[in-house]
Each structure stands twice: as C-alpha cells, then as structure tokens.
C-alpha cells in the first residue's frame, strides 16, 4: 500500500524546502490549517487539495475509480500520485 495523502503533502513540502508558514502563505491558507491537513485533523476542499501540491512545484494526478462489478471485492487503494509535474510517483489510498 502506498503513502496516504497526508504523507504525500508533507513529502512535497519537504522536497520544496518550504516551512508550513511558507506553503500556507503560497496556498492562501493558514499555518494552523495546513498543520491540521498534515495531521489528518481536517480535510481540504478539492480546490485546496490541488493548490497545495502545485505551490510546491508538484501536481496531484488522479484517475476515476473504475466501475466495479458487484461481485468484485472492494479495492483498498486506487491509482493517484503526487510528483514533479508530468511524472507519476506514488499510489495512495482513498
């Protein structure tokens, strides 16, 4: 199983060498709110979910969950990634 969204956000922030305060300012949110996202206490909106990695020089890529026949077991993760633009790098859980 791959890294979750929180870990990917932290990894992108560290790779960009940004503090929480710096990333929060770039992404038009507050440092406490960014910290809450990173610690799983709060969930960002879809717009913020795309904006945060973009402000670190990364992009979030996701694919729609395929339609699943009724008798298939539920999957625990679906492809999504966060990485340098135009490069996929991880699978995360939904």
pLDDT of 66 strictly over 80: no
Please report the pLDDT score of residue 84 as a whole number.
57
pLDDT in tens, 18-51: 999 999 999 999 999 999 999 999 999 888 988 9
Q: What pLDDT is attached to residue 15? A: 94
Across the chain, mean pLDDT equals 76
């135009």: which residue's tokens? 86
Number of domains in the chain: 1
**Domain CATH for 22:** 1.10.260.40
Residue 89: predicted pLDDT: 47
pLDDT at 16: 94
Tokens for 88?
Answer: 């996929």
Contact criterion met (CB below 8 Å) for 54 and 18 = no
φ, ψ for residue 20, nearest 5 deg: -60, -40
Closest CA to 9 of 25, 1, 44, 32: 44
Containing structural domain, residue 88: 5-64+72-93
């Amino acid at each position: 199983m791959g890294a979750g969204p929180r870990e990917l956000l932290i990894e992108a922030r560290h790779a960009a060498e940004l503090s929480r305060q710096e990333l929060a300012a770039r992404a038009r949110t507050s440092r406490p709110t960014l910290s809450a996202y990173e610690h799983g206490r709060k969930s960002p909106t879809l717009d913020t979910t795309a904006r945060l990695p973009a402000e670190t020089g990364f992009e979030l890529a996701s694919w729609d969950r395929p339609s699943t026949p009724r008798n298939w077991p539920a999957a625990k993760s679906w492809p999504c990634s966060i990485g340098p633009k135009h490069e996929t790098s991880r699978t995360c859980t939904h």
